[in-house]
Structure 1
């Protein structure tokens, strides 16, 4: 098969799909990952094909920090985000054109995300402001409806002008099944050769605390850097500060107990640390749990070791393909040593279906 994967978001959104794409490529399929130009080198060094999408993920991240989710704080925010999504085409929930192009081409679509996107009473929608459990399930419909109201004219213009499809009045459910397969980790540590300076610093004392905020924009990076350094000094800890998109600064005055670095594979770095302080992004959270950093994470790390989310995602993709016609044989995944996949059918909502 020729498989196009369209991913909108930050590095934490893109990285798991690289892992899925590489596994599909191993099975003999041709995989092209369409995402923001910021990630071109990252994608191409993994051996996948790349196609650029318009839109800047840093603008999206800044918008979500400012508004604490998808819902805008003021109406003036809506036109800015409309410009960011006008050319979105096909396969995580934030790329709003996927289902329509798939309909026009009459091809299967499989939508995957790193966070819960299915209505439930257990948790609120990840991009909602809902705090009370009574509103958790309703929060999914609320976010869905609000986003749809903001972009429905653009979607229907795309359907009529470009895709020659009838307009739709609402984005209704697209299918009956959801598979929860575990996080899709991309192994970067095994091929990573750390530079000598951080290795020398790591070996010069106790295990440090990692502090980083990934793709989270920081309004006052200089001030936050000073606060972090002061906290480490007061508590007598060594710390690694990851600059990230927040632009945390190099120190004006060198401190022996602080090391500032740029991007380093989390699956290597977190194993060198005693604790991880971060922004709560899906990828960083998963990497911290897998590393078993802090005593409370050890049991979760053991459970994660028994999962293969990449294998589960690929099997889910193949399982939900349309039934084969008599003259065709649909591709399947080879047998693997995947240990007890976590496949939980739950009710369908907009944004996650095959």
Structure 2
């Protein structure tokens, strides 16, 4: 069960592939992924399509793109929250109904799928939390909670407080959404304290992240396992667009510019800024328009190639670097394929990955999408393109990540969570 955009769904599809030939699999994702999931041969039940449509609305774009002044942002957040809360009850019903019908042996769930916590309290050996990013449930002494990733918090006191605050508020809100099920189990204690104990110390937590990028903190308990970044083969059925391979031969040192499934309120302006700067610096680039965060610019030079879909595992091994939004999956794949990175963060965890990439020397620290302009992009793009130290660091990181993910360990944790 995963609720969100592609970056939220991909870790679950990668794990599903481990059991293709041995188990029956049901994927409960947003309705927009039905065709793709059923094409992979899995059963599917859909969350209301309105959830992702909400993120693509004008309000969603303003929030995710960080546009407007302080009060406009607060107003947008509140409007988005109000609309999403209306959907939340139906989303939770879909989770419960799917589990009741399917009667699974194991439930692997995303942190946004709140029914996973309720079920986990009833049957802790049956439910497994899967995370595509750290700094959520289990605190890090170095980085604040992912929700505060935008701010450079370095005080140990405030770092610790960020986890207590966010997770405390979240656990107290559970009653609002899950309280309707409490009466069926009068013997259970559904207090925030019990949910905290469940999440932090009891449930198996699989972090689908690289220990080379983010080593397991010493303070994490045994039930929190960093298993390496597991990803599936997305290129096997891919047919390159006409002219792509010839373009790559013509420009052997090139980059990819992609915002994945992120959107913003000024895709045309941002696309024009990138085309202008890439042209001036003579940087050949493939621009992936994807979900609309970037747009095709007319009269762009031959060194700029626009595509609307391209598997990262096909294109990244052929590139020097990637300019991207900073999603967990894109950050991991760029590191895995030895690409220098420049992150243009949009929301939440992307600011964390931006900081981490900079800390590891895999690229310069990027600029928030809502502050991006030609003046501040120029020096970081130049540094990204010409600093040889980044290329040395990403090559070393890529070597460390090869073979780091152990599919057998992931299967063992899923089949025998107590082991």
Shared fold, TM over 0.5: yes
TM-fit CA distance, 1:236: 0.8
- In the aligned structure 1, how far is the partner of 2:81 from the partner of 2:415? 37
- Give 1:132's aligned residue: 153
Preserved CA contact (<8 Å) 1:17 1:184: no
Q: What pairs with 1:1-354 in structure 2 (closer than 5 Å)?
A: 6-26=1-21, 28-54=22-48, 55-57=50-52, 59-60=54-55, 62=60, 65=64, 73-74=74-75, 75-86=78-89, 87-88=91-92, 89=95, 91-103=109-121, 108-116=126-134, 117=136, 118-129=138-149, 130-133=151-154, 134=156, 135-160=158-183, 168-170=190-192, 171-174=195-198, 175=202, 177-294=223-340, 295=391, 296-321=393-418
Preserved CA contact (<8 Å) 2:254 2:319: yes
- Give 1:346's aligned residue: none
- In the aligned structure 1, how far is the partner of 2:272 from the partner of 2:251? 22
TM-fit CA distance, 1:304: 1.2
Preserved CA contact (<8 Å) 1:159 1:165: no
Question: Which structure carries more helix by proportion?
Answer: 2
Preserved CA contact (<8 Å) 1:19 1:310: no
Q: What secondary structure is seen at the aligned counterpart in 1 of 2:44?
A: strand
In the superposition, relative to structure 1, how do residues 309 and 215 fare at CA in structure 2: closer, same or farther (>3 Å)? farther
Q: What secondary structure is seen at the aligned counterpart in 1 of 2:257?
A: strand
Preserved CA contact (<8 Å) 2:4 2:52: yes
TM-fit CA distance, 1:119: 1.0
- In the aligned structure 2, how far is the partner of 1:107 from the partner of 1:30? 19
TM-fit CA distance, 1:209: 1.3
TM-fit CA distance, 1:150: 4.2
Preserved CA contact (<8 Å) 1:209 1:239: yes
- In the aligned structure 1, how far is the partner of 2:124 from the partner of 2:326? 38
Q: What secondary structure is seen at the aligned counterpart in 2 of 1:95?
A: coil
Preserved CA contact (<8 Å) 1:208 1:275: yes
- In the aligned structure 2, how far is the partner of 1:102 from the partner of 1:244? 36
TM-fit CA distance, 1:48: 2.0
Preserved CA contact (<8 Å) 2:3 2:112: yes
TM-fit CA distance, 1:257: 1.2
TM-fit CA distance, 1:21: 0.6
CA-atom RMSD in angstroms: 2.7
Higher mean C-alpha displacement, 163-172 vs 193-202: 163-172
- Give 2:98's aligned residue: none
In the superposition, relative to structure 1, how do residues 236 and 32 fare at CA in structure 2: closer, same or farther (>3 Å)? same
Please give the TM-score of this superposition, normalised by the length of structure 1. 0.79
Higher mean C-alpha displacement, 53-62 vs 269-278: 53-62
TM-fit CA distance, 1:77: 4.1
Preserved CA contact (<8 Å) 1:181 1:313: yes
TM-fit CA distance, 1:181: 0.4
In the superposition, relative to structure 1, how do residues 310 and 125 fare at CA in structure 2: closer, same or farther (>3 Å)? farther
- Number of matched residues? 312
Q: What secondary structure is seen at the aligned counterpart in 2 of 1:110?
A: strand
- In the aligned structure 2, how far is the partner of 1:169 from the partner of 1:60? 31
- In the aligned structure 2, how far is the partner of 1:106 from the partner of 1:288? 35
Unaligned runs of 5+ in 1: 1-5, 324-354
TM-fit CA distance, 1:17: 1.1
Preserved CA contact (<8 Å) 2:31 2:46: yes
Please give the TM-score of this superposition, normalised by the length of structure 2. 0.68
TM-fit CA distance, 1:237: 1.1
In the superposition, relative to structure 1, how do residues 36 and 77 fare at CA in structure 2: closer, same or farther (>3 Å)? closer
